[in-house]
Amino acid sequence: MTRPPLVLLPGLLCDAAIWAPQVAALADIAETSVGDLTRADSIAAMAAEVLRIAPPVFALAGFSMGGYVACEIMRRASARVSRLALLDTSARPDPPERAQLRRDLIALAERGDFKGVTPRLLPQWVHPDRMREPEFVATVSAMTLRGGREACIRQQSAILGRPDSR
């Protein structure tokens, strides 16, 4: 029996590690792949790259920034998406204070203080109970460092330029 394809889209500074538990849990029922959203500098370019390598028809799940990309995929090629899950994301553009925080994080990364970005983001991303789990925090921190400074700048800029998906 063929397993249906499922494309998983990670959030800001996340990679396939964020989806590892789901990939393992779904192995018997879905052929999963995780999109790489670290190389493009716009949500549109991220969506185009995912669509370029995705199967002709696939289920799609987007987490946080991956949800912004999933919305763009739906605008471009909704007929290719058999199912859609949007997790911890928003169709709305950033409010002014959130956009300013993103610009501040870009400036911090551009100054070369990239390691300073992760401690600022973790409390926003992770429930306080999980922040008391050193192994979990280390896993998330390592993932963001793998993404790197340039990906951080590209992704934050892409998020700032994303369309209103309402």
Q: For residue range 59-108, what is the model confidence (pLDDT) as tens digits?
A: 999 999 999 999 999 999 999 999 999 999 999 999 999 999 999 989 98
The secondary structure element, H or E, covering residue 156 is: helix 134-160
Which residues have a Cβ under 8 Å from the Cβ of 154 and sit 6 or more positions away? 38, 39, 40, 41
Model confidence, pTM? 0.92
Instruction: Tell me the backbone φ, ψ of residue 29, rounded to 5 degrees.
Output: -120, -10
Q: Listing from the earlier edge strand, what are the strands of the sheet with 58-63? A: 31-34, 5-9, 58-63, 81-87
Q: For residue range 23-45, what is the model confidence (pLDDT) as tens digits?
A: 999 999 999 999 999 999 999 99
